[in-house]
Structure 1
Amino acid sequence: MPRKPKRPCRMTGCPNLTDRKSCYCRAHEKVMQRHYENFTRGYDQHARYGSAWRRIRDRHLAGHPLCEKCKEQGRYILATLVHHIRPLADGGTHDESNLMSLCVSCHERIHHRCAKE
């Protein structure tokens, strides 16, 4: 029985052909699976952040309405996110001293994310 023709790998710029179900070549299949596990599926945010966190976040934003990183640079941008200086996964708490008001771009910069990924 004849097989389907191979297709180009879905990874941008990859010249390899593949007949795998994932549409990625062997070299990129594991990379994309890790990306899916970490970013697309994410984690159960309700297990870590519940209604108590929403109250703490709202109270912190009311007391610190400007982005703290931008304010250091002389810019006054409204903060929309509250960042944990020491992450909860590393033993951080919801303490006022561990929280920082940030705009979206500063928060993304702290986590080394970029819009291209």
Structure 2
Amino acid sequence: MPSKPKCLCSAPGCPELTRERFCQLHAKKADKNYRKFQRDQRINKHYGARWRKIRAAYIAQHPLCEDCLEKGLTTPVAEVHHVLPLDHGGSHDFSNLHSLCKPCHSKQSALDGDRWRQTPRVYSY
């Protein structure tokens, strides 16, 4: 299967070519800015060093995207998804985790309303 052509990093002035939105250096900075300024701080408290260890152990046991495997594809895992979100009583137990590639995780997050959810504003007059 042909791969996506490389393009310039989206960071202003960066000459690096990448297949993602940002090069490795700027991807870390963009992720840090997202966690600090855009992500809900209540969510950040669940994703510390303990979560990173659990995630690494789960990926070691499930190195391929579980959704793609059901379709007969072998895609390396990029994200670990909580089946029942932590805010809704979910936990970091392996029974509540699902390894996904980036496209499958984005699709699932959009269906769940996680990152791109538009919360209605309530105005009081």
Whether TM exceeds 0.5 here: the answer is yes
Q: Which runs of no fewer than 5 residues in structure 1 stay unpaired?
A: 1-39
Q: How does 1:1-117 map to 2 (within 5 A)?
A: 41-44=38-41, 45-112=43-110
Superposition TM-score, scaled by structure 1 size: 0.60
| CA offset digits 1:30-50 (Å, max 9, x no partner) | xxxxxxxxxx62222541211
Letter in 2 for 1:71: L
Q: CA RMSD in A?
A: 1.7
Superposition TM-score, scaled by structure 2 size: 0.56
Shift of 1:64: 0.2
- Greater C-alpha Rg: 1
Q: Which runs of 4+ in 1 moved over 2 A?
A: none
Letter in 2 for 1:47: K
Q: Which runs of no fewer than 5 residues in structure 2 stay unpaired?
A: 1-36, 117-125
Shift of 1:54: 0.2
